[in-house]
Amino acid sequence: MDPVERVLRESHYDASLVRLLEGRPTVRAIVDAFRESLGVLGALADTVTRGVSGRRVGYIVNMILNYSNVCIVRCSFCAFHVPPGHPRAYTLDPKTAAAKVAEHYEAYGIRQVLVQGGVNPSLGLDYYKSLFREIKRVTRGRVAIHGLSPVEIEWVARKEGMRVREVLEELREAGLDSIPGGGAEILSERTRRLLSPAKGGPEAWIRVMDEAMRLGIPISATMMYGHIERLEERAEHLIRILELQRRRGRIMAFIAWRYQPAAKLAEKMPEKATGLEHLRVVAVSRLVFRHEIPWIQAGWLTAGFDVARLALHYGANDWGGTLYEEKVLPAAGVPLPRLVREKVERLIRSAGREPFERDNFYRPVAGATG
């Protein structure tokens, strides 16, 4: 018998948890789940996760390419961006940027580059196409491009007077493999209005991702929590992501990021989210997404190694990446530890799980350890 079915038959869980386990989440049921005991959430989430991937935990050797720090969107939580003309503003030309990727490919055998920047008004479609083509050229097509966010893609479409669909097609033709979920924050009207009014409501993010998946481009979905959002809004966010997955089916993974207070937003926050809260978020996400979004990342980048290891028992089954070159958190004053393959595998094993190296599409890499 399916382990979740057994849990449902043999136990007397709260009706809200049963709704989640049966794939019928509502805002109310998710809010109730957030208030459940962490022990119950962890046990259930772990049962569901083992049904999805057993004891195996994936990871990827990758880097982040922050091609520019110029952005005109001005999200209140962002310590990374600067406005155009700022003394710290930089934009890498495609050749220089691709050379960095080639360096990491040669040195570490990275399999993915996460291309992230902001809405830089001086960059148009040609820039991104040259960047992607150059990355593919210098790595002989061996490094996958997981790049841009809906707000950057929408900006390019507006600047070029094109449809989002056309921009996506051209980017894919130039080498874009998949889109990370950045910029979703919390998909609710109120939080987006307060955090990043220039990004538009939740539909702005959903529209671009929906179009991408309609074209067959896979994506990942994220949630940045632990700031001004209410539990109902977290629940709304999770339901919107689940609906999108049920409509298009190309969401490979979900990642919950704990907000790192650094900017002025920190003053408005009731309290900083804790490690326990991270475990709760991961567990509830697993109960909402079940097997439908197969991979949930542990979120080490913002939660830290210790909490991330625990998260592998609370619904997470992917470690994420080594993330060489990440600049967003250092900009917020958060020092980053150095990660390499061996260390990631040690961390996963020390949590009692079996590591496997994967590619951009969550497929095990043939011949890799683990």
Q: Which residues bind ligand SF4 (CB under 6 A)?
A: 71, 73-75, 78, 80-81, 118-119, 151, 196
* Single-letter code of the amino acid located at 143: V
**Helix 150-160, helix 164-174: angle, nearest 10:** 110
Q: How far is the CB of 70 from ligand SF4 (least distance, A)?
A: 9
CA distance 18 to 33: 10
CA distance 81 to 331: 9
With beta carbons less than 8 A apart as the criterion, state whether 132 and 172 touch. no
Q: How far is the CB of 179 from ligand SF4 (least distance, A)?
A: 14
Task: Give the residue with the Cβ less far from ligand SF4, 23 or 121.
Answer: 121
Q: How far is the CB of 183 from ligand SF4 (least distance, A)?
A: 6
With beta carbons less than 8 A apart as the criterion, state whether 69 and 118 touch. yes
Q: How far is the CB of 294 from ligand SF4 (least distance, A)?
A: 27
61: Cβ–Cβ under 8 A, 6 or more apart, which residues? 108, 109, 110, 111, 112, 321, 322, 341, 357
Task: Give the residue with the Cβ less far from ligand SF4, 53 or 66.
Answer: 66
Task: Give the residue with the Cβ less far from ligand SF4, 43 or 334.
Answer: 334
Task: Give the residue with the Cβ less far from ligand SF4, 148 or 310.
Answer: 148
CA distance 235 to 29: 9
Q: How far is the CB of 189 from ligand SF4 (least distance, A)?
A: 17
Task: Give the residue with the Cβ less far from ligand SF4, 249 or 330.
Answer: 330
**216, burial (CB in 10 Å: exposed 0-12, middle 13-18, buried 19+):** exposed
Q: How far is the CB of 205 from ligand SF4 (least distance, A)?
A: 11
Q: How far is the CB of 267 from ligand SF4 (least distance, A)?
A: 18
Q: How far is the CB of 188 from ligand SF4 (least distance, A)?
A: 17
Q: What pairs with residue 113 in β-bridges? A: 63, 145
Q: How far is the CB of 118 from ligand SF4 (least distance, A)?
A: 3
**292, burial (CB in 10 Å: exposed 0-12, middle 13-18, buried 19+):** middle
Task: Give the residue with the Cβ less far from ligand SF4, 20 or 97.
Answer: 97
Task: Give the residue with the Cβ less far from ligand SF4, 73 or 99.
Answer: 73
With beta carbons less than 8 A apart as the criterion, state whether 282 and 311 touch. yes
Backbone angles phi, psi at 140, to 5 degrees: 50, 35
Backbone angles phi, psi at 224, to 5 degrees: -100, 115
Task: Give the residue with the Cβ less far from ligand SF4, 33 or 78.
Answer: 78
Task: Give the residue with the Cβ less far from ligand SF4, 40 or 262.
Answer: 262
Distances (CA, A) of 94 to 46, 137, 171, 273, 334: 43, 11, 14, 38, 28
Residue with tokens 């830089």, as numbered in its chain? 120
Task: Give the residue with the Cβ less far from ligand SF4, 205 or 319.
Answer: 205
- Give the residue from 328, 359, 326, 323 showing the smallest Cα distance to 343: 323
65: Cβ–Cβ under 8 A, 6 or more apart, which residues? 92, 97, 100, 101, 113, 114, 115, 116, 325
Q: How far is the CB of 153 from ligand SF4 (least distance, A)?
A: 12
